[in-house]
Chain A
Amino acid sequence: EIVLTQSPGTLSLSPGERATLSCRASQSVGSSYLAWYQQKAGQAPRLLMYGTSYRATGIPDRFSGSGSGTDFTLTISRLEPGDFAVYYCQHYGSSSWTFGQGTKVEIK
């Protein structure tokens, strides 16, 4: 079973700063099967990225994704107030799904 490890656990940044979130897989995974979700307090998760680097409908271009093999990154180029939330990476493989434990992006 593939394990996804996200780092850091918490990222303290100011609006306008750049956020770089990491998702590391325990073994090489297909980049087509790596997605990112944003979850705000009290809300259901929302799809941000799929296939590592494809933005979901309505997601602004300040969000970008990259990576391959075991290392994947979600970058938020300039944080806006609504971006402070928890972010999860997710992998699909062999009919099973796995989430990372999440990275909280908080206001510094």
Chain B
Amino acid sequence: QVQLVQSGAQVKKPGASVKVSCKASGYTFTDYYLHWVRQAPGQGLEWMGWIDPKTGVTNYAQKSQGRVTMSRDTSISTVYMDLSSLGSDDTAVFYCARNIAVPIPFSRSYFYYFDSWGQGTLVTVSS
């Protein structure tokens, strides 16, 4: 079965960077885009961007651009999310999620949605 297993919780000081990993198993790693979603305490879900594990091409949400870098290591089926210049408002749970595209019947288009999620990684930014 599809599994996305993320790295453990981290505590960082303001101004530092954090790197979170997401290891995929149960499917062909390069067949599906992987996304990162953040959730501040008590808040909603915020999409950060995606990476194509096959090519390494990325697309970041406007709000994330400049501070986030997504990368992958195909040899170990793992994607990474690097967030720099951390501030206290970056304290959040970060999730990776698999993006699936399913053909729409009688159409040339696709349904797009996130069918599997990692367990989440809490990043706490505190001095």
* Distance between Cα atoms of A100 and B97 in the complex (Å): 17
Question: Please, which residue of chain B has its CB at the minimum distance from the CB of A94?
Answer: B59
* Chain A positions within 8 Å of B44 at CB level: 88, 99-102
Size of A's binding interface in residues, CB under 8 A:
25
Q: Which of B37, B59, B109 contacts A32 (CB 8 A)?
A: B109
Residues of B within 8 A of A100 (CB): 44
A54 touches B111 (CB 8 A): yes
For chain B, the count of residues having a C-beta within 8 Å of the partner chain is 26
Nearest residue, chain A, Cβ from B104: A32
B117 partner, pick from A44, A50, A90, beta carbons under 8 A:
A44
B residues with CB within 8 A of A: 35, 37, 44-47, 50, 59, 61-62, 95, 97, 102, 104, 107, 109-115, 117-120
Residues on A lying within 8 angstroms of B by beta carbon are 1, 32-33, 35, 37, 39, 44-47, 50-51, 54, 56, 88, 90, 92, 95-102
Residues in B with CB closer than 8 Å to A98 are 47
In the complex, chain B residues whose CB is within 8 Å of the CB of A90: 45, 113-114
On whether A35 and B114 interact (CB within 8 A), knowing A45-B95, A97-B35, the answer reads yes
Q: A37-B45, A97-B61, A99-B45 are in contact. List 5 more A-B contacts (CB 8 A).
A: A32-B107, A46-B117, A47-B115, A99-B47, A102-B44
Chain B binding surface, main DSSP class: strand
Interface residue SS majority, chain A: strand
Q: List 10 A-B contacts (CB under 8 A).
A: A1-B62, A32-B104, A32-B111, A32-B112, A35-B114, A44-B120, A45-B95, A51-B111, A95-B50, A99-B47
Q: Which residues of A contact B119 (CB under 8 A)?
A: 44
Q: Top 6 closest A-B pairs, CB basis? A: A44-B117, A50-B113, A97-B47, A35-B113, A99-B45, A92-B112
Bound-state CA distance A102–B44 (Å) is 6
Say yes or no: A44 contacts B115, CB within 8 Å: no
